[in-house]
Amino acid sequence: MSKNTRTILICSGKGGVGKTTLTANLGIALANSGASTAVLDADFGLRNLDLLLGLENRIIYTAQDVLDKNCRLEQALVRHKKEPNLALLPAGDPRMLDWMKPEDMKKISELLSEKFDFVLVDCPAGVEDGFKNALAACKEAIVVTNPELSAVRDADRVIGILNTSDIEPIQLVINRVRPNMMASQEMLSIEDVQGILSLPLLGIVLEDEQVIISTNRGEPLTLTDTLSPAKKCYLNVSERLTGKDVQIIDPKNEGKSLKDKFMRLMQTKIF
Protein backbone atom coordinates (compact mmCIF):
# COMPACT_ATOMS: atom_id res chain seq x y z
CA MET A 1 0.00 0.00 0.00
CA SER A 2 2.80 2.40 0.87
CA LYS A 3 4.12 1.88 -2.65
CA ASN A 4 4.32 5.15 -4.53
CA THR A 5 2.75 3.85 -7.69
CA ARG A 6 2.36 6.21 -10.60
CA THR A 7 -0.99 5.58 -12.26
CA ILE A 8 -1.05 7.48 -15.52
CA LEU A 9 -4.01 8.13 -17.76
CA ILE A 10 -3.17 8.06 -21.48
CA CYS A 11 -5.92 10.08 -23.14
CA SER A 12 -6.58 12.29 -26.16
CA GLY A 13 -10.20 13.18 -26.78
CA LYS A 14 -9.99 12.43 -30.48
CA GLY A 15 -9.71 8.81 -31.55
CA GLY A 16 -6.86 7.29 -33.48
CA VAL A 17 -4.13 9.71 -32.44
CA GLY A 18 -1.88 7.03 -30.94
CA LYS A 19 -2.90 6.38 -27.31
CA THR A 20 -2.75 2.61 -27.50
CA THR A 21 0.53 2.59 -29.45
CA LEU A 22 2.06 4.92 -26.87
CA THR A 23 0.76 2.83 -23.96
CA ALA A 24 2.23 -0.37 -25.41
CA ASN A 25 5.62 1.14 -26.28
CA LEU A 26 5.93 3.12 -23.08
CA GLY A 27 4.89 0.06 -21.06
CA ILE A 28 7.66 -2.05 -22.60
CA ALA A 29 10.23 0.75 -22.26
CA LEU A 30 9.45 1.37 -18.60
CA ALA A 31 9.48 -2.35 -17.82
CA ASN A 32 12.78 -2.67 -19.64
CA SER A 33 14.27 0.10 -17.53
CA GLY A 34 13.54 -2.03 -14.47
CA ALA A 35 10.23 -0.65 -13.25
CA SER A 36 7.48 -3.19 -12.74
CA THR A 37 4.74 -1.96 -15.03
CA ALA A 38 1.10 -2.79 -15.69
CA VAL A 39 -0.88 -1.63 -18.67
CA LEU A 40 -4.63 -1.50 -18.18
CA ASP A 41 -6.92 -1.52 -21.18
CA ALA A 42 -9.73 0.85 -20.22
CA ASP A 43 -11.12 0.92 -23.74
CA PHE A 44 -13.84 -1.66 -23.12
CA GLY A 45 -15.74 -0.76 -26.26
CA LEU A 46 -12.87 -1.38 -28.66
CA ARG A 47 -10.04 -3.17 -26.94
CA ASN A 48 -6.76 -3.24 -28.83
CA LEU A 49 -3.93 -3.08 -26.37
CA ASP A 50 -3.67 -6.89 -26.26
CA LEU A 51 -3.20 -6.94 -30.05
CA LEU A 52 -0.47 -4.32 -30.04
CA LEU A 53 1.41 -6.26 -27.40
CA GLY A 54 0.88 -9.57 -29.17
CA LEU A 55 -0.94 -10.99 -26.16
CA GLU A 56 -4.38 -11.51 -27.65
CA ASN A 57 -4.16 -15.31 -27.56
CA ARG A 58 -3.18 -15.52 -23.94
CA ILE A 59 -6.16 -13.79 -22.35
CA ILE A 60 -8.20 -15.96 -20.02
CA TYR A 61 -9.64 -13.59 -17.47
CA THR A 62 -10.26 -9.85 -17.73
CA ALA A 63 -10.70 -6.83 -15.48
CA GLN A 64 -14.37 -7.75 -15.37
CA ASP A 65 -13.62 -11.14 -13.78
CA VAL A 66 -11.46 -9.44 -11.18
CA LEU A 67 -14.30 -7.08 -10.26
CA ASP A 68 -16.83 -9.92 -10.23
CA LYS A 69 -14.43 -11.92 -8.06
CA ASN A 70 -14.38 -14.74 -10.59
CA CYS A 71 -10.61 -14.73 -10.25
CA ARG A 72 -7.76 -13.11 -8.41
CA LEU A 73 -5.89 -10.20 -9.95
CA GLU A 74 -2.81 -12.38 -10.54
CA GLN A 75 -4.83 -14.80 -12.62
CA ALA A 76 -6.09 -12.08 -14.92
CA LEU A 77 -2.72 -10.42 -15.47
CA VAL A 78 -0.99 -11.50 -18.67
CA ARG A 79 2.78 -11.33 -18.30
CA HIS A 80 4.79 -10.52 -21.41
CA LYS A 81 7.18 -13.37 -22.18
CA LYS A 82 9.93 -11.20 -23.62
CA GLU A 83 9.52 -8.51 -20.99
CA PRO A 84 8.40 -10.17 -17.75
CA ASN A 85 8.38 -6.81 -15.95
CA LEU A 86 5.30 -5.94 -17.98
CA ALA A 87 1.79 -7.25 -17.41
CA LEU A 88 -1.48 -6.51 -19.17
CA LEU A 89 -4.84 -6.38 -17.48
CA PRO A 90 -7.27 -6.92 -20.37
CA ALA A 91 -10.57 -5.12 -20.82
CA GLY A 92 -13.76 -7.07 -20.33
CA ASP A 93 -16.48 -7.19 -22.94
CA PRO A 94 -18.20 -4.03 -24.16
CA ARG A 95 -21.22 -4.59 -21.95
CA MET A 96 -19.02 -3.52 -19.07
CA LEU A 97 -19.66 0.02 -20.22
CA ASP A 98 -23.26 -0.26 -19.07
CA TRP A 99 -22.60 -0.88 -15.42
CA MET A 100 -19.05 0.27 -14.85
CA LYS A 101 -18.70 3.14 -12.37
CA PRO A 102 -15.69 5.32 -11.55
CA GLU A 103 -15.45 3.43 -8.22
CA ASP A 104 -14.97 0.17 -10.11
CA MET A 105 -12.00 1.58 -11.99
CA LYS A 106 -10.62 2.99 -8.77
CA LYS A 107 -10.86 -0.45 -7.23
CA ILE A 108 -8.89 -1.99 -10.08
CA SER A 109 -6.20 0.65 -9.99
CA GLU A 110 -5.84 0.24 -6.23
CA LEU A 111 -5.31 -3.48 -6.68
CA LEU A 112 -2.70 -2.84 -9.35
CA SER A 113 -1.00 -0.21 -7.21
CA GLU A 114 -0.15 -2.83 -4.62
CA LYS A 115 2.00 -4.67 -7.14
CA PHE A 116 3.41 -2.25 -9.68
CA ASP A 117 5.58 0.86 -9.89
CA PHE A 118 3.80 2.14 -13.00
CA VAL A 119 0.22 1.63 -14.11
CA LEU A 120 -0.58 2.98 -17.58
CA VAL A 121 -4.27 3.29 -18.37
CA ASP A 122 -5.15 3.22 -22.06
CA CYS A 123 -8.19 5.42 -22.30
CA PRO A 124 -11.03 5.26 -24.83
CA ALA A 125 -11.53 8.17 -27.21
CA GLY A 126 -14.18 10.74 -26.34
CA VAL A 127 -15.01 12.55 -23.11
CA GLU A 128 -17.92 10.37 -22.03
CA ASP A 129 -18.31 7.76 -19.29
CA GLY A 130 -15.50 5.49 -20.46
CA PHE A 131 -13.08 8.38 -20.21
CA LYS A 132 -14.44 9.58 -16.88
CA ASN A 133 -14.20 6.09 -15.36
CA ALA A 134 -10.60 5.78 -16.47
CA LEU A 135 -9.86 9.24 -15.12
CA ALA A 136 -11.08 8.23 -11.66
CA ALA A 137 -8.41 5.55 -11.52
CA CYS A 138 -5.44 7.83 -12.20
CA LYS A 139 -3.20 10.35 -10.48
CA GLU A 140 -1.37 11.73 -13.51
CA ALA A 141 -2.18 12.12 -17.18
CA ILE A 142 -0.49 12.15 -20.53
CA VAL A 143 -2.50 13.87 -23.25
CA VAL A 144 -1.65 12.55 -26.71
CA THR A 145 -2.34 14.70 -29.73
CA ASN A 146 -1.32 15.14 -33.37
CA PRO A 147 -0.25 18.44 -34.92
CA GLU A 148 -3.65 18.76 -36.57
CA LEU A 149 -6.60 21.06 -35.96
CA SER A 150 -9.18 18.52 -34.86
CA ALA A 151 -6.80 16.58 -32.63
CA VAL A 152 -5.62 19.74 -30.86
CA ARG A 153 -9.14 20.99 -30.43
CA ASP A 154 -10.28 17.73 -28.83
CA ALA A 155 -7.18 17.61 -26.66
CA ASP A 156 -8.15 21.04 -25.38
CA ARG A 157 -11.54 19.76 -24.25
CA VAL A 158 -9.94 16.86 -22.43
CA ILE A 159 -7.48 19.21 -20.74
CA GLY A 160 -10.42 21.36 -19.64
CA ILE A 161 -11.92 18.35 -17.89
CA LEU A 162 -8.60 17.20 -16.43
CA ASN A 163 -8.01 20.67 -15.02
CA THR A 164 -11.18 20.39 -12.97
CA SER A 165 -10.00 17.11 -11.42
CA ASP A 166 -7.02 16.68 -9.14
CA ILE A 167 -4.91 14.93 -11.74
CA GLU A 168 -1.37 16.26 -11.60
CA PRO A 169 0.90 16.54 -13.52
CA ILE A 170 -0.77 16.66 -16.93
CA GLN A 171 1.83 16.33 -19.66
CA LEU A 172 1.70 16.48 -23.44
CA VAL A 173 2.95 14.06 -26.10
CA ILE A 174 2.70 15.17 -29.71
CA ASN A 175 2.53 12.13 -31.98
CA ARG A 176 2.95 11.69 -35.75
CA VAL A 177 5.30 14.62 -36.13
CA ARG A 178 6.62 15.11 -39.67
CA PRO A 179 9.77 17.23 -39.61
CA ASN A 180 9.55 17.99 -43.34
CA MET A 181 6.04 19.33 -43.16
CA MET A 182 6.89 21.35 -40.08
CA ALA A 183 9.93 22.79 -41.81
CA SER A 184 7.83 23.85 -44.77
CA GLN A 185 5.25 25.23 -42.36
CA GLU A 186 2.52 23.02 -43.66
CA MET A 187 2.06 21.49 -40.23
CA LEU A 188 1.46 23.13 -36.85
CA SER A 189 4.82 23.35 -35.09
CA ILE A 190 5.63 21.82 -31.71
CA GLU A 191 5.68 25.34 -30.27
CA ASP A 192 2.26 26.11 -31.80
CA VAL A 193 0.63 23.03 -30.30
CA GLN A 194 2.30 23.35 -26.94
CA GLY A 195 1.61 27.06 -26.76
CA ILE A 196 -2.05 26.61 -27.57
CA LEU A 197 -2.59 23.78 -25.08
CA SER A 198 -0.29 25.28 -22.41
CA LEU A 199 0.89 21.95 -21.04
CA PRO A 200 4.43 20.89 -20.21
CA LEU A 201 5.78 18.86 -23.11
CA LEU A 202 6.81 15.34 -22.16
CA GLY A 203 7.92 14.49 -25.66
CA ILE A 204 7.18 14.04 -29.33
CA VAL A 205 6.90 10.95 -31.51
CA LEU A 206 7.89 11.09 -35.14
CA GLU A 207 5.69 9.72 -37.89
CA ASP A 208 7.23 6.36 -38.73
CA GLU A 209 6.05 3.47 -40.88
CA GLN A 210 7.82 1.08 -38.53
CA VAL A 211 4.96 1.75 -36.10
CA ILE A 212 2.59 0.02 -38.49
CA ILE A 213 4.99 -2.82 -39.21
CA SER A 214 5.52 -3.49 -35.52
CA THR A 215 1.76 -3.43 -34.93
CA ASN A 216 1.35 -6.05 -37.66
CA ARG A 217 3.79 -8.26 -35.81
CA GLY A 218 2.36 -7.64 -32.35
CA GLU A 219 5.76 -6.48 -31.15
CA PRO A 220 6.00 -2.90 -29.93
CA LEU A 221 8.97 -1.03 -31.41
CA THR A 222 10.58 -0.64 -28.02
CA LEU A 223 10.83 -4.43 -27.85
CA THR A 224 12.67 -4.81 -31.15
CA ASP A 225 16.26 -4.18 -32.16
CA THR A 226 15.40 -2.04 -35.16
CA LEU A 227 16.56 1.51 -34.75
CA SER A 228 13.70 3.61 -35.98
CA PRO A 229 12.72 7.25 -35.51
CA ALA A 230 9.59 6.47 -33.48
CA LYS A 231 11.40 3.97 -31.27
CA LYS A 232 13.97 6.60 -30.38
CA CYS A 233 11.12 8.90 -29.40
CA TYR A 234 9.30 6.33 -27.27
CA LEU A 235 12.51 5.63 -25.38
CA ASN A 236 13.03 9.36 -24.91
CA VAL A 237 9.50 9.78 -23.51
CA SER A 238 10.05 6.85 -21.16
CA GLU A 239 13.30 8.31 -19.84
CA ARG A 240 11.75 11.72 -19.30
CA LEU A 241 8.80 10.15 -17.53
CA THR A 242 11.10 8.46 -15.04
CA GLY A 243 12.71 11.81 -14.34
CA LYS A 244 15.90 11.44 -16.36
CA ASP A 245 17.27 14.78 -17.43
CA VAL A 246 17.27 14.25 -21.19
CA GLN A 247 16.34 16.71 -23.92
CA ILE A 248 13.15 16.31 -25.93
CA ILE A 249 13.83 15.10 -29.46
CA ASP A 250 13.83 18.13 -31.70
CA PRO A 251 12.22 17.56 -35.10
CA LYS A 252 14.46 20.26 -36.52
CA ASN A 253 17.41 17.93 -36.05
CA GLU A 254 15.64 14.91 -37.50
CA GLY A 255 15.64 14.22 -41.22
CA LYS A 256 19.12 14.37 -42.62
CA SER A 257 18.54 14.51 -46.38
CA LEU A 258 19.51 17.44 -48.56
CA LYS A 259 15.86 18.28 -48.98
CA ASP A 260 15.44 18.51 -45.20
CA LYS A 261 18.40 20.84 -45.00
CA PHE A 262 16.97 23.04 -47.72
CA MET A 263 13.62 23.12 -45.91
CA ARG A 264 15.37 24.23 -42.75
CA LEU A 265 17.13 27.01 -44.62
CA MET A 266 13.75 28.21 -45.86
CA GLN A 267 12.55 28.35 -42.27
CA THR A 268 15.30 30.74 -41.22
CA LYS A 269 13.94 33.93 -39.76
CA ILE A 270 15.09 36.87 -41.86
CA PHE A 271 13.30 39.66 -40.05
Partner 1 sequence: MTLRDLINKLLGRETASANTARERLQLVLAHDRVDMSSLTTDLLDKMRKEILDVVAKYVEIDFEEVAVSLETEDRMTALVANLPIKRTLSGDIKFKKNDKNDKNVKGEKDTRK
Ligand X SMILES: Nc1ncnc2c1ncn2[C@@H]1O[C@H](COP(=O)(O)OP(=O)(O)OP(=O)(O)O)[C@@H](O)[C@H]1O
Residue 17 binding ligand X, by CB under 6 A: yes
3-19 burial: b if 16+ Cβ within 10 Å, else e: eebbbbbbbbbbeebbb
CB nearer partner 1, residue 164 or residue 247: 164
Per partner kind, with CB cut-offs from 5 to 8 A, the member of Mg ion, partner 1, ligand X, none near residue 12 is: ligand X
- Report how far residue 71's alpha carbon sits from residue 69's, in angstroms, rounded to the nearest whole number: 5
- Report how far residue 134's alpha carbon sits from residue 23's, in angstroms, rounded to the nearest whole number: 14
Of residues 88-147, which lie at the interface with ligand X (CB under 6 A)?
125
Helix axes 149-163, 129-136, angle to 10 degrees: 50
Phi first, then psi, for residue 143 (nearest 5°) are -95, 120
- CA geometry: angle 155, 156, 161, nearest 5 deg: 95
User: Position 199: which residue type?
Assistant: L
Q: State which of residues 43, 50, 83, 117 lies at the interface with ligand X (CB under 6 A).
A: 43
Region near ligand X per CB under 6 A, out of 55-63, 87-95, 147-155, 206-214? 206-214
CB nearer ligand X, residue 17 or residue 108: 17
Per partner kind, with CB cut-offs from 5 to 8 A, the member of ligand X, Mg ion, partner 1, none near residue 246 is: none
Residue 164 binding partner 1, by CB under 8 A: yes
- CA geometry: angle 228, 37, 76, nearest 5 deg: 115
- Write the interaction track for partner 1 spanning residues 174-203; mark x where CB under 8 A is met and - where it is not: --------x-xxxxxx--x--xx-x-----
CB nearer ligand X, residue 63 or residue 211: 211
Residue 140 binding partner 1, by CB under 8 A: no
Closest distance to partner 1 from the beta carbon of 191 (Å): 10
Beta bridge partners of 88: 39, 78
Region near ligand X per CB under 6 A, out of 18-26, 186-194, 245-253, 258-266? 18-26
List, as one string, the DSSP characters of 22-54.
Answer: HHHHHHHHHHHTT--EEEEE---SS--HHHHHT
- Write the interaction track for Mg ion spanning residues 9-48; mark x where CB under 5 A is met and - where it is not: ----------xx----------------------------
Alpha carbons within 13 angstroms on the beta-carbon side of residue 10 total: 30
**How far is residue 112 CA from its own chain's centroid?**
18
Residue 207 binding ligand X, by CB under 6 A: yes
Residue 215 binding Mg ion, by CB under 5 A: no
Closest distance to partner 1 from the beta carbon of 260 (Å): 14
Q: Which residues bind partner 1 (CB under 8 A)?
A: 148-149, 152-153, 156-157, 159-160, 163-164, 182, 184-189, 192, 195-196, 198, 265-271
